[in-house]
Amino acid sequence: MGEDAELVPVEIVGVRQHMADDEVVVLLLDPDSELLVPILIGPAEASAIASAQAGIVPPRPMTHDLLRDVLIAVGSGLTRVEITRLEDGVFHAELVLRTGPRVDSRASDAIAMALRFGCPVLCSAEVVAVAGVEVRTTTSEQDLERFRRFLDLVTPEDFSTGAEPEDEGGSEGR
Instruction: Give residue-wise pLDDT tens across range 8-22.
Output: 999 999 999 877 778
Q: Which residue has the higher pLDDT, 15 or 150?
A: 15
Report yes or no: 50 and 115 within 8 Å, Cβ to Cβ: no
DSSP string, 131-174: H-EEPP-PPPHHHHHHHHHHHHH--HHHHHH-PPPP-TT--TT-
Tell me which residue range forms the domain holding 23.
7-59+75-157
Report if residue 120 sits inside a domain.
yes
> Among 131, 101, 125, 121, which residue's Cα sits nearest to residue 39?
131
Report if residue 64 sits inside a domain.
no
pLDDT on residue 171: 46
What is the rounded CA–CA span in Å between residue 113 and residue 120? 10
CATH code of the domain containing 103: 3.10.690.10
Domain total of the chain: 1
Report if residue 166 sits inside a domain.
no
Instruction: Give residue-wise pLDDT tens across range 110-120.
Output: 999 999 999 99
For 2, the 3-state DSSP assignment is coil
Report if residue 68 sits inside a domain.
no
Q: Which residue has the higher pLDDT, 156 or 64?
A: 64
Q: Which residue has the higher pLDDT, 153 or 25?
A: 25
